[in-house]
Each structure stands twice: as C-alpha cells, then as structure tokens.
Amino acid sequence: MNQVTRRMKLLLGTTILMVALAGCTSNDKPAAAPSATGNEPAPIVEPTGTFPITKEKTTLKVMVKSSASVEDFTTNEFTKWYEDKTNVHIEWDIVPEKSAQEKLSLMLASKDYPDVIMDMGVSSAQQMMYGSEGVFLPLNKLIDKYGVETKKMFEAIPLVKDSITAPDGNIYALPQVAECSHCVLNQKMWINQTWLDKLGLKMPETTDEFYNVLKAFKEQDPNGNGKADEIPMAGSIGGSNTNVDGFLLNAFIINSPYNNAISMMVSNGKVDTAFNKPEWKEGLAYLHNLYAEGLIAPESFTQDTSQLKKLGENPDIALVGVVPATSLGNFTNIAGKGTRWLEYTAVPPLKGPQGLQQTPYNPYDVARSGNYVITSVSKHPDVAFRWADAMYNEEITMRKGYGRPDQEWRWAKPGEIGINGKPAKWFTTFDVGNLQNISWATTGPHYRTSDLRDLRALTPPSNEITLFNETKNKYEPYKQNTATIVPPLYFTSEQLGELNDLSKTINDYLKEMTARFITGDVNLDKEWNTYLQKLKGMNIDRYLQIYQDAYNAKLNKK
C-alpha cells in the first residue's frame, strides 16, 4: 500500500477507535532530527526549570482547537502572563472545534505544518505514521534533558509513560493528565433513598434484592401521591453510562465501557469479548424479566439524556426510583436551587447469582494522549518542549486552568475542608465551563493531581463530595482486577481502518440486539444461537485478532 493510500485510509477513518496509547519505554530508535528552515541562530535555552525559557523573544506557531470556554487565545490573560514568564510568543492558528479533525487531517496531508499541534486529538495511528516518517518529533531525548515536570509526573503515575509510549519506544505526544477517583470507576447506579426509607427497605445487595426493591417501588406508592405513577427504573441512550444494561450486567460478567473496547476483557493473556458468553445471556434474561414485569421504563431505549433529566426533575414529586448514570447531574439538576438530587444515593455493585460482585475500572483514564505534538519544521523544538513541560507545574496548571491567584482562586484558609474530608488546599468559585478570557480552561497539557481535585474547599451538600464518598466507599472495594483490563493500545493505520469498519458493524448490532432481547422483541432462548452466528459472520474473530496483535505488541515491548 503506497503512502498516499495509507494516509487517505487514516484520514478518512472515524474516531470510534482512536484509542489511547501504549508501549514500552525503550529508546532504541534514534530521534529524527528537526528540519529547521531559515538561517537565524537558535535561541539560547536557559537552564532547565528556570524562567524565562530564553533571553531572546522566541516565536512558536501553534495550531489549537477553539474552546467554548475561551474567548480568544490571543488576548487571553493566561497567554499574556505566560509569554511574560517564558519569553515565548505564540502565533495562533485557531481551528473551529466542530471542524478540528477535518482541519488536522488536511493540514497533515498538505505538509504545511505548524511548530506545535495542541489540543487537536492526534490519534495513536497518526502518531505512529507521522512519527515514523519524521514529521512528529520523538520527545524522549527532550524529556531526558528538559523534562523536569514531565519526569515528576511520570514518577508519580508510572502508567502514564507506559500508555503514551509507541511500540517503537518513542513518545510522540505529551498528554493531559488528570487524576479523578470517580472517573476511573464511572459505572454507577442511583436509587431514591427517600423511597427506600418510606417503605422500610434496605439497600439492595444482590440481583434478587434489587428485583424486590423495584417491585416494591412499582406497587407500594413510595412517592405518596396515591397514584400508580412511579417508574421503578429508567435510563436513556447516548448518556454517560445511562444505558439500563451497563451497570446490571456486571453482576453476571464484566461489562467494561472503557477504551472503546466493546465489552472486552483479558483472560489468561487473551483478549476476549463478554457479549457472546453464556453469562451475558443470563444477564440479558434477568433484564428481560425486569422489563416484562414493568420495572424498566420502555422509553429507556429511545429517550436522550435531556428527556431523562426532565423525567428525573418532574415538578412537585419524584417519579423515578432508580437511574444508572455516572453522576447525579446526568438526570437531576445539581446546580442552583435544585434539591431532587439529594434524595438519591449510590447502589453498590450487585452480587449476581454466581456470587460475582465487581465494577469496571480504568486506571488509564488519567491520561489523555495526543494533546501536544512538536513537528519537524520547528526551528526550536527545545523551546517548544520546555514551554509545554512547564505547564505540568502546579502553579502554572492552576493559572492555566482557573485563572489568577487571589482573584479567581486562592489557597485555602484554616478550617476549610476539601472534597475528601481533609483540610482543603485551595478554593475557587470560578467555573471553567463558562466563556471567559482569563484562563485556558482545559486546553493544553496539564497535570491535575488528586490533591488539586480532592483538596478543593467545598461545603456540603455537593455533587463532587457525594461522588468522591460513594466511589470510595461503595465502588472502589469492588474494582475490576487490573489483569483483566484491556489497556490502551496502538494500532497501525491499516489495523485502525479495519477496526473502524468492524467495530461499527458489531457495535450497532450489539446495541440493537441488547435492546430487542431485553424488551422481548426477540426471544432470547430461541434466537441466541442465531445471534452468535451473526457475530461470527460480522468477523468477530478478526476483530479480536487485531486487538490481540496490538496487545501482544505492547507486551513484547515491555
């Protein structure tokens, strides 16, 4: 396959399987030399970890995706402060968010590269292709020489370095790193505790007890209005783990939603699927029974999250007993004067009929790779690297993300308590989601430690406090065995092209049949073998083999 064909296959690929990265830390392959243009001398880079980065003003051309939270990167307060601190001036190429992937592909094909590509979601396959061709510079030697903050981050969270290292041993892109205890265990179920208390029911611990609770919610008028209007359980499609099958199937077999690997796992060194196993069928039969008895709202398979939230916030009185969701904010209003969310608490992972009790776990979620790439046209790659490395510093991460100290945020006062219940470290009322021109919000490299997240001063009641406590107490003890997790993998452009086609076909069929089996539109017992045969016909074996090859490549590099 020639280079043009390879590139077109990559550029036309969807982002369904642009999974995060993996590999080893070998540095055997020599770094490609940057192809500098012009004759001006390189600036003298100041000693590692000091500022400014250069004595002479140095300009970098940076392509960046626009942000709904940033008014203008050119005039932004952080941009101006960081230029003063580093003596590095940025010429911005700001790309509309909606067309970012298209713009990135066109730029890579045109060879009209900037010095830096930032926040554009450069995929693993793009890193491998353009890295091997010398377009993206290997960062290993720059990290060794200048990476004060990068190396601190690698030391604190070793899996980050592993997950962003390509199979050839090179690191082609710096990541965003954000530790979040409830994000790595994000499949949750929420139950109306007020209803449990009114009916004198305890928190369900098994799938049988869960069934009995839903039945009581349906029949015993827990909202007390004298009407049979209660909805025992409701979900939605397209939300953050709001599908009705996600949480409950884990009582039968691991149902991991992570890394774009469709309900996959590692078993004895082999990558395998969950959705063609007898335990999966048993779980679907359990869900069908709930549906057949009117315990799952039919609209769960058609409504979107806005409709689910409207249901969850029904005026005057609660209608929904149980909702699967990552956060309470997915189905209730957690801001302003909303109080309905206070009625709900998390359901621990349920114990299934075979004694299985687990929750999917994704420790790799802390690293979002492909965030910061230095191209071969950069005349000053050392400056470009130091400019990014410094963003992992705590003070700069705070300024970049939240604004100016003692204005948009401040260090905590004595007596203030953090999300985790310990003495707080900092405080802010600044909302990075609103349009402003003070910070970069979530754009660019950053290292947001668990301290920065969990030691923020907040006063109960708070959704963040609830998420922290419920995750730590109810989900963390049952987290999935890491040996069974499919890690982030690197795929070649050819592999990715195949996976894009295979995964769409398989995933669409899986979603369709899951809904049809649960609702009884298709008889589970009679049609299960036909379902398995169709998966075979969709080349599920080839799909798994591609994953296995990439997984083996990762293991062989370690």
Pairing between β-strand 367-374 and β-strand 174-178 as defined by DSSP bridges: antiparallel
pLDDT tens per residue, range 182-193: 999 999 999 999
pLDDT tens per residue, range 448-464: 999 899 999 999 999 99
CB 492, CB 521: distance < 8 Å: no
Give the separation between CA 70 and CA 347, rounded to whole angstroms: 37
User: What pTM was computed for the model?
Assistant: 0.88
Q: Encode burial over 288-325: b for 16+ CB neighbours within 10 A, e otherwise.
A: bebbeeebbbeebbebebeebbebbbeeeebbbbbbbb
Give the separation between CA 194 and CA 215, rounded to whole angstroms: 16
Residues in the chain: 558
Q: What type of residue sits at position 155?
A: E
Minimal CA–CA distance to 452: which of 96, 156, 85, 92? 156
Domain ranges of the chain: 52-185+363-459, 189-360
Give the separation between CA 167 and CA 175, rounded to whole angstroms: 17
pLDDT tens per residue, range 490-544: 998 899 889 989 999 999 999 999 999 999 999 999 999 999 999 999 999 999 9
Q: What type of residue sits at position 260?
A: N
How many Cα atoms occupy the beta-carbon half-sphere of 547 within 13 Å? Answer: 30
And the tokens for 243?
């599908």
State percent of the chain over pLDDT 70: 92
Classify the C-alpha dihedral 509-515-518-519 as positive or negative.
Answer: negative
Minimal CA–CA distance to 215: which of 240, 234, 232? 232
pLDDT tens per residue, range 233-267: 999 998 999 999 999 999 999 998 876 567 899 99
**What pLDDT shows up at residue 24?**
34
CB 522, CB 54: distance < 8 Å: no
3-class DSSP string for 416-479 = CEECCCCECCEEECCCCCCCECCCCCCCCCCEECHHHHHCEECCCCCHHHHHHHHHHHHHHHHE
Pairing between β-strand 116-118 and β-strand 58-65 as defined by DSSP bridges: parallel
pLDDT tens per residue, range 341-400: 999 999 999 999 999 999 999 999 999 999 999 999 999 999 999 999 999 999 999 999
And the tokens for 327?
């956060």
Minimal CA–CA distance to 487: which of 8, 19, 145? 19
**What pLDDT shows up at residue 261?**
64
pLDDT tens per residue, range 38-84: 445 667 899 888 999 999 999 999 999 999 999 999 999 999 999 99
**What pLDDT shows up at residue 433?**
82
Minimal CA–CA distance to 273: which of 239, 243, 249? 249
CB 462, CB 419: distance < 8 Å: yes
Give the separation between CA 8 and CA 78, rounded to whole angstroms: 37
**Which pLDDT band, with edges at 50, 70 and 90, does 17 fall under?**
very low
Homologous superfamily assigned to 52-185+363-459: Periplasmic binding protein-like II (3.40.190.10)
And the tokens for 196?
């449990």
What residues contact 201, with CB distance under 8 A and at least 6 apart?
195, 213, 216
DSSP structure class, residue 392: G
Q: Where are the alpha helices (DSSP H) in 133-206?
A: 140-146, 148-156, 158-164, 193-199
List the Cα angle 228/201/252 in 5-degree steps. Answer: 95
Give the separation between CA 459 and CA 445, rounded to whole angstroms: 29
Minimal CA–CA distance to 279: which of 296, 254, 259, 315? 254
Say whether pLDDT at 473 is over 60: yes
**What pLDDT shows up at residue 305?**
94
**What pLDDT shows up at residue 38?**
42
Q: Where are the alpha helices (DSSP H) in 157-277?
A: 158-164, 193-199, 207-219, 244-249
Minimal CA–CA distance to 142: which of 349, 383, 370? 383
Give the separation between CA 73 and CA 79, rounded to whole angstroms: 7
Minimal CA–CA distance to 411: which of 454, 450, 455? 455
Give the separation between CA 65 and CA 121, rounded to whole angstroms: 9
Give the separation between CA 109 and CA 103, rounded to whole angstroms: 10
Say whether pLDDT at 111 is over 80: yes
CATH top class, domain 189-360: alpha beta
Q: Where are the alpha helices (DSSP H) in 60-191?
A: 77-86, 100-110, 124-132, 140-146, 148-156, 158-164
